[in-house]
Amino acid sequence: MSGLLGLLDDVAAIAKLAAAQLDDVATQAAKAGTKAAGVVIDDAAVTPKYVTGLPAARELPIVWKIARASFFNKLVILLPAALLLDAFLPWLLTPLLMLGGSYLCFEGAEKVWSLIVPHEPQGARAATTLDAAHLEAQRVKGAIKTDFILSAEIMTISLAAIETDSVWTQGVVLAAVAIGITALVYGAVALLVKADDVGLKMSQAGGLAATRALGLWIVRSMPALLALISAVGTAAMLWVGGNIIVHGLHGLGWHWPYETIQHLAQGASGAVGVAEGLVGWLATATLDGVIGLALGLLLLPVIGSLVLPLVALIAGRKASEDPAH
């Protein structure tokens, strides 16, 4: 009898330990996912453009293709790479994180600049000459490339937010973040790209006047909603990118930007006297976004004049060396 009780005690202890570990994983995953929220918003805001102009019947299959590639990118490529870097080259994580933050600043600034100086997107004219199948393949390829960059940023930010030295816990948390964020992003994207079709059917076939009115409202509201999501995504890129750069510089020993922002944010929250936490966060996010925008605008001519022509040159040289061309 005493042996049975001892066994039950051991089982109970193991169960408590497992529950504690699961709770820790859930807590760490939630925290890491929150840290990557800005990139997640941008990911959800960017993806719908890749199905614009394609047949409605292909929208969900395209979203699934991109989502499937995103799962592969995060779980098979980026998760092991992040754990290996953290184990053997941890000093490289901050520079890589800052590199990704600089990319976010560039992307956000490019969107802001395109509003100030409208221009035709690269490849837009060529895309009009492609048939639907080739256009779909081109869009999916571009979306997967963009997703890989954003996914790398999400995984790096998440890894930096995990507070444990256990590689197994890190792996489980990163896997949970990867699965949860990908499902959330592409589930939301699927709803967004099909909402106008659902609204149209409701407006045409609704049995009640209220149903038809709701459907019509959905159809009319979608352009404004997508524009709002795009604006939020741009702001999130600049905020997250600037925040990464400021914290990276702080970690590397240049404390002035971080300390100045904290001082100004504390002054703003103290001056208001109400909702001090919210005001402090808004002030910090705004200042981080200003820094992100400034850095992004500085990067525009550098990337436009040097990086993109170099990439095009290398791509053109490879294409000319391909026996099939």
Write the DSSP string, 248-286: HHHHHT--HHHHHHHHHHHHHHHHH-SSHHHHHHHHHHH
Number of folded domains in the chain? Answer: 1
Instruction: Name the residue range of residue 19's domain.
Output: 2-321
Residue 116 is given by DSSP the state: H
Mark the ranges of the chain whose per-residue pLDDT is less than 50: 2-24, 123-127, 319, 324-325
- At 219 the pLDDT is 84
- What is the predicted pLDDT for the residue at 126? 47
- Other CB atoms within a 10 A radius of the CB of residue 229 amount to 19
CA-wise closest residue to 244 among 257, 233, 231? 257
Closest alpha carbon to 185 in 271, 35, 66, 30: 66
> What residue has token string 């964020």?
181
